[in-house]
A and B are shown apart, each in its own frame.
Chain A
Amino acid sequence: MGSSMIIGQYVPGNSFIHRIDPRTKITIIFFFVLIVFFANSVMSYGLLTLFAVGSAASTRIPARYLIKGLLPVWFLIVFTFILHLFVTKEGEVLFSIFSFDFYTGGIIQGLAISLRFFLLILVTSLLTLTTTPIEITDAIEGMLGPLKKIRFPVHELALMMSISLRFIPTLMQETEKISKAQASRGVDFRTGSFKDRIKAVVPLLVPLFVSAFKRAEELAMAMEARGYQGGEGRTKLRELSIGKLDIYTYILFILVIIGLILTRS
């Protein structure tokens, strides 16, 4: 199911991007998303592309896997480009087909927007590719920490997030198991009319719900049995800490920002 889609998938590894603090990653990606919109010259785009592609390369995730995984996004990128080609009417007429004029402005604009789009998707998917869901949750809990002062239930929110993330693979496995069992009893999920296929989902959904509820109950019981109380006074198993690696990363990123300001036209 969705094996070609890599957004949200974690790929284990030990590159330095894997090892930097998730809060650092989130902060940098947040600011990267902002500064992408400030690039406006070939040099500045080049700099950002270098940064993004360099980061991607340093994760040691095979490039082929990345490119294939972003396939659904490629379609959007190409679509954006074509849209600009037709709609933007700036600069000189480059060539015309069937009395429809294509402008240099359109091509440049199209390229720029597509590149922007590509950079955004690439960098944000690097976060989930190199950070476990649990780390992301911890980071969000840490970064939302100050909101506790206004009684915002940060810890509960983080717990809910980590439980749901934790159970996604479990539910996927369960779905696969049950759909195999029902397929063995002659359910056909792939062919047939729309109505037939909707009907084929019932033998899948009912057992799935039953087991999800049972699992939730068991989880709650197991947590209570081990004295879970939540929030106040609870210590952490994984302490996040900002290390040298994070400082270097920030310095590098600030250099990129300075470079961007200098190369803007």
Chain B
Amino acid sequence: MDITFKDVSYIYQANTPFEHRALSGVSFHIPSGSFVAVIGHTGSGKSTLLQHLNGLLRPTEGKVMIGDYQISAAEKTKDIKSLREKVGVVFQYPEHQLFEETVAKDIGFGPLNFNVEPKEIERRTGQAIKAVGLPEDLLQRSPFDLSGGQMRRVAIAGVLAMNPEVLVLDEPTAGLDPSGQREIMDMFSRQHKNNNLTTVLVTHSMEDALRYADHIIIMKDGEKYMEGAPLEVLVNKEELQRVQLDLPEVIQFLHQAEKQFGKAIPYRKQGIAQLAKELTAVVKGGESHG
């Protein structure tokens, strides 16, 4: 589904001494099927932005359009529940939302709320637990007996089982070990491709943004700061440092290599082996000439 923000502003606790402007005049368009990373420092408005995607928040000014759904201050969105079925949100630390007696019931909780047939729920539960890489015999256990990482995966499975068309991820790998982070992100990437999803990822990790996203939005103090393709946005050192963000490590490394050997290696998302080859060529070339 296409996602469009039109001059969206959001003010928390308007008309009180605690009034706080979290978003001001944000506009962008995300075509259906993109994988978008939203990056920004703490307090830059990422989480507020994300909550507009399934109507948890209603913009104070402006308009949000998701597929055929419209969310604005003036009118009540029709059928907000069906919007929430189509937009699956994985919140930060999603394991905090687990509550059922068994893993299976918790994964099936979303679909059940959206009136999915019991047979179909069972099928989706099996599929979802496999997708997040957990063994099926966990299904009958209590979610509170699992380890932190397993709980996280169960919670994610609960969102996948809703079969959403848009997947919204709020730092889904925060607090996991590095290999777990990689596995989960690869899993989201697979889901994105196989199910033709539109994915919005809120993250602090420049590496993840570079690796998975095809479009990047950088937020600063509630405003859109930069937007564009990863290889355009994530190479601009000065602009990024102004919002306390670093270049992704690969880019940093290539910049260093350029300084060292005097020849730039353009980054086109090539793998480590390919990069090593190109680097060798540059180093050797440098030697033969010098």
Partners in one complex: yes
The interface of chain A, by Cβ under 8 A from chain B, is 3, 11, 61-62, 65, 174, 177-178, 180-188, 202-203, 206-207, 210-211
Q: Is B260's beta carbon under 8 Å from chain A?
A: no
Per the bound structure, the CA–CA distance linking A3 and B18 in Å amounts to 10
Contact for A203 among B84, B99, B162, CB less than 8 A: B99
Given A3-B16, A181-B96, A203-B99, residue A188 in contact with residue B81 (CB < 8 A): yes
Interchain Cβ contacts within 8 Å, total number: 61
Q: List 24 A-B contacts (CB under 8 A).
A: A11-B17, A62-B17, A65-B17, A177-B91, A178-B97, A180-B51, A181-B89, A181-B91, A183-B56, A184-B54, A184-B56, A184-B89, A184-B91, A185-B97, A185-B109, A185-B110, A185-B158, A185-B162, A186-B85, A186-B110, A186-B113, A187-B113, A203-B97, A210-B99
Q: Is B94's beta carbon under 8 Å from chain A?
A: yes
Q: Are A207 and B81 in contact (CB under 8 A)?
A: no
The size bracket of the interface on B is 20 to 34
Extra contacts besides A61-B17, A65-B16, A186-B81 (11): CB < 8 Å = A177-B96, A183-B56, A184-B87, A184-B91, A185-B84, A185-B159, A185-B162, A202-B99, A207-B96, A207-B97, A210-B144
Q: Is B98's beta carbon under 8 Å from chain A?
A: yes
Q: Is B274's beta carbon under 8 Å from chain A?
A: no
Bitwise, B54-72 to A at CB < 8 A (1) or not (0) is 1010000000000000000
User: Closest approach, in angstroms, between the C-beta of A206 and any C-beta of chain B?
Assistant: 4
Per the bound structure, the CA–CA distance linking A202 and B114 in Å amounts to 17
Contacts of B17 in A (CB 8 A): 11, 61-62, 65
Q: Are A207 and B98 in contact (CB under 8 A)?
A: yes
The interface of chain B, by Cβ under 8 A from chain A, is 13, 16-17, 51, 54, 56, 81, 84-85, 87-89, 91, 94, 96-99, 109-110, 113-114, 144, 158-159, 162
User: Closest approach, in angstroms, between the C-beta of A24 and any C-beta of chain B?
Assistant: 24
Per the bound structure, the CA–CA distance linking A177 and B95 in Å amounts to 12
> Which secondary structure characterizes the binding site on chain A?
helix
Q: Are B109 and A203 in contact (CB under 8 A)?
A: yes
Contact for A184 among B16, B88, B99, B144, CB less than 8 A: B88
User: Closest approach, in angstroms, between the C-beta of B60 and any C-beta of chain A?
Assistant: 14
Per the bound structure, the CA–CA distance linking A11 and B158 in Å amounts to 40
Question: Which single residue of chain A is at the shortest CB-CB distance from B16?
Answer: A65
Contacts of A177 in B (CB 8 A): 91, 96
User: Closest approach, in angstroms, between the C-beta of A237 and any C-beta of chain B?
Assistant: 26
Per the bound structure, the CA–CA distance linking A207 and B106 in Å amounts to 12
Contacts of B54 in A (CB 8 A): 184
Per the bound structure, the CA–CA distance linking A186 and B159 in Å amounts to 11
Q: Are B96 and A180 in contact (CB under 8 A)?
A: no
Question: Which single residue of chain B is at the shortest CB-CB distance from A69?
Answer: B16
Q: Are A207 and B162 in contact (CB under 8 A)?
A: no
Q: Are B84 and A183 in contact (CB under 8 A)?
A: yes
User: Closest approach, in angstroms, between the C-beta of A57 and any C-beta of chain B?
Assistant: 15
User: Closest approach, in angstroms, between the C-beta of A103 and any C-beta of chain B?
Assistant: 41
User: Closest approach, in angstroms, between the C-beta of A154 and any C-beta of chain B?
Assistant: 33
Per the bound structure, the CA–CA distance linking A65 and B17 in Å amounts to 8
